[in-house]
Amino acid sequence: MAKNSNGNVINFLIRIDINYCKLQFYMFSKAKSRLNLEVCSPLAFLLIFVNLEKIIAQFVLTNKNNKMPQIQHMVIFKFKPETSSEQIAAIFNQLEQFKQTIPGIIYFVGGKYSSTENLNQGYNYGFLMTFESAEARDAYIVHPEHEKIKAEIIPCVDDLVAFDIEA
């Protein structure tokens, strides 16, 4: 078992039968990439066995480009005027901690609206959270910590928008 640069697990199964010069070699990953080889010729067996490390390295490199799509989860808020900056800071601190406590979150950034375009339509804060997969996002949606923060946020906002994009 190995991991490529995207963190995808690559599993290897190698069966070698020296008596019959037979090599069975299987590699597969979470991203559904597969490589199956079965070699019965003594010369092919020798060539593949000697170059096995290169074959594995090439599979891992190729698999890097076949990763599962990530999910970009964007949420914008219209906090009520009576919501204190301390309450807002506490909410964003909790959201940032999710990266350490909820599996599958690989990135978080959030804060106050900062553009001079003034196209925010009253939405004054927002965040972007990146999930390693749609499954990780789906697990987050029903996670008890997510439910808890939602219960804290809802009374503090006039409106919010959540929008997810597959990347």
Residue 103 is classified by DSSP as T
CATH number at residue 76: 3.30.70.100
Do 112 and 32 fall into the same domain?
A: no
Give the domain-ending residue among 36, 64, 92.
Answer: 64
User: How many angstroms separate the CA atoms of 94 and 100, rounded?
Assistant: 10
pLDDT in tens, 70-93: 999 999 999 999 999 999 999 999
Do 22 and 42 fall into the same domain?
A: yes
Give the domain-ending residue among 47, 64, 81.
Answer: 64
Burial-class residue 2 by CB neighbours within 10 Å (0-12, 13-18, 19+).
Answer: middle
Which domain range does residue 25 map to?
Answer: 2-64
Do 75 and 146 fall into the same domain?
A: yes
Structure confidence at residue 68 (pLDDT): 72
- Backbone conformation region of residue 33, classed left if phi is above 0, alpha if psi is from -120 to 50, else beta: beta
pTM higher than 0.75, yes or no? no
Do 89 and 157 fall into the same domain?
A: yes
Do 97 and 76 fall into the same domain?
A: yes
- Are the beta carbons of 125 and 77 closer than 8 angstroms? yes
Do 151 and 92 fall into the same domain?
A: yes
Give the domain-ending residue among 64, 85, 109.
Answer: 64
pLDDT in tens, 20-68: 554 454 545 555 444 444 545 555 555 555 655 665 555 555 555 556 7
> Total structural domains in the chain?
2
Helix axes 85-101 and 144-153, enclosed angle (nearest 10): 170
